[in-house]
Structure 1
Amino acid sequence: MAVDTDVAGMAILQKAGAIINVLEREGESSAAQISEAVGEPVSSTYRLLSTMMALGWVDTGSKRGRYRLGVDVLRIGGMLEDRLDVRSVASPILAELRDATRNSTFLCLLRHDNAVCVERIGGRDVQSLAMRLGDSLPLYSGAAPRALLSFLPNEELRATLDRFEARRRNGEAIPSEGSILREIEIAREVGYTVSDEDVTPGIASIGAPIYNHRGELEGGISVSGLRDRVLGPDVDTAEKVKRSAAQISRALGKLEDAQ
């Protein structure tokens, strides 16, 4: 079942890449034109376009019913090769981590004030559907998003916290800055983050940051499963997650003293 899910997820990403290629080559296009170019039914092309719009990869065109590349693709394009490398490097290590813990593993990348799931390897025992490929969570929710938030460079962290405060004033239910900063302080001390049933009842997760060859924060990984199997006294999930994160970072070229 997990293998089938992963294959389907990769197929979706490939179709999304094909759509981006069409829009890059042809410019603004209708769903019918895109459908013909990528060889997919119009109905499924509409669904994928909707998802890509939610991610900021596609925008509506100058005329009704037409689509064009989203502004985020300009930013993504410059980093696409690196990010595909991150996924290819991380996937086998996340698979090993899944096998070692029997829990689901995730790779998330930063997008604005959210973490987007770009890799998910389903657990051997219980699979939570709270985070699927392409889904996102705010940086204060879930272990991998918290890993991204907690290990942001201080200047970027301050800017993010300021945006959170502005959103609070607009009525959004975001944890207080004090509580976020306390979690960040603990995370930086122990090297990992914890999500204890704040996303899905009964489900806990542990996350850690990964770094690229420049020592820059590249993403966050996590393990998620039944609370007792993640946070129980007889498991060492946190150490396994930290080791896997360090292994991915080394594979990306991070030097031991670079961060």
Structure 2
Amino acid sequence: MADGASDDGGIEILSKAGAIIDALAETEALTVSALADAVGEPTSSTYRLLQSLIAMGWVDAAPVRGTYRLGLACMQIGGVLEDSLDVRGLALPRMRELRSSAGVAALLCYRRGTRAVCVERLEGHDVRSVAMQVGDSLPLHVGGAPRALLAFLAAGEQHAVVDELLATPDLPYAVPPRGALQAELEATRSRGYARSDQDVTIGIAAFGSPVFNHRGELVAAVSISGLRERLVDREPELADLVMSTAAAISADLGYDGGRRG
């Protein structure tokens, strides 16, 4: 009986500690009385529990006197969990919906240096394109997903990539002059998606949109690719599908639509 009562008491304390962590996670800082109200506990017991959480690094005193916020230990663990989210695994169900709605191939690409690597491809009903299979890569200035990755890079990083592309000899796909490329990247950012019209394969078009993680960092791009006549005539509809899919994957990763990295 005594052991059972002890276990119950420990679970109760953990539950109360969890309630405090949850309350602090929803705002920047709270006073002891505000926390007590939020978790439904007396101020005195809330204060004692806060002191234990502070000792463990789960809670810290906030800059405003008498208020408390999540501690570094809590945020570090949260960051590790968020960073471990599998982008490809979360994207796959969304990509299946996209492929089903669009009727063409759906792709997911990661950036690696000045190139985009295809990490997932779901075939559509079109003739199968051999240009971008899983494991293949393209330079960032061509194709739907690659160009979306380049367009939504932070300005300094984008500038460095463009410099490197322009300085690389004998690329299989010609890099346009800096001014023309910059204009296309700005247009891509403005409309929210990249357009690829036969710049990789004759007869093939693609639309791509960026995916962001919980920090607002660019982590991937999703795209559709298929016969030009099946995409270009339906561009407004299909572009919206691609952008909404990318936004849904970003939300699954914890992105709230705020500041981007």
Q: Same fold (TM over 0.5)?
A: yes
Give the match for residue 161 of structure 1: 162
Shift in Å, 1:164 = 2.0
Residues 120-156 of structure 1, C-alpha deviations (whole Å, 9 max, x = no match): 0011333212111100000011010000000000010
Name the SS for the 2:86 alignment partner. helix
Task: Indicate yes or no: 2:251 matched with 1:255.
Answer: no
Q: Which amino acid in the other structure matches residue 127 of structure 1?
A: R
Name the SS for the 1:108 alignment partner. strand
The change in CA–CA distance for 1:149 and 1:235 in structure 2 (over 3 A counts) is: closer
Residues 1-259 of structure 1 correspond to what in structure 2 (within 5 A)? 82=83, 85-167=86-168, 170=169, 172=171, 173-233=174-234, 236-259=237-260
Residues 29-51 of structure 1, C-alpha deviations (whole Å, 9 max, x = no match): xxxxxxxxxxxxxxxxxxxxxxx
Shift in Å, 1:174 = 2.0
The change in CA–CA distance for 1:155 and 1:101 in structure 2 (over 3 A counts) is: same
Name the SS for the 2:205 alignment partner. strand
Write the distance in 1 (CA, Å) between the matches of 2:227 and 2:257: 33
Q: Which has the larger radius of gyration?
A: 2
| Structure 2, gaps ≥5 residues long | 1-79
Residues 171-196 of structure 1, C-alpha deviations (whole Å, 9 max, x = no match): 54322111211111111110000000
Asked if the contact 1:99/1:124 (under 8 Å) is kept, the reply is no
Name the SS for the 1:140 alignment partner. coil
Shift in Å, 1:165 = 2.6
| Structure 1, gaps ≥5 residues long | 1-78
Q: State the TM-score, normalized to the length of structure 2.
A: 0.65
Write the distance in 2 (CA, Å) between the matches of 1:161 and 1:256: 26
Asked if the contact 2:99/2:105 (under 8 Å) is kept, the reply is yes
Asked if the contact 2:126/2:227 (under 8 Å) is kept, the reply is no
The change in CA–CA distance for 1:83 and 1:197 in structure 2 (over 3 A counts) is: farther
Identity across matched positions, percent: 47
Q: Which amino acid in the other structure matches residue 187 of structure 1?
A: T
Alignment coverage as a number of residue pairs: 178
Q: Which amino acid in the other structure matches residue 204 of structure 1?
A: A
Asked if the contact 1:107/1:219 (under 8 Å) is kept, the reply is yes
Shift in Å, 1:84 = 6.9
Q: Which amino acid in the other structure matches residue 153 of structure 2?
A: L
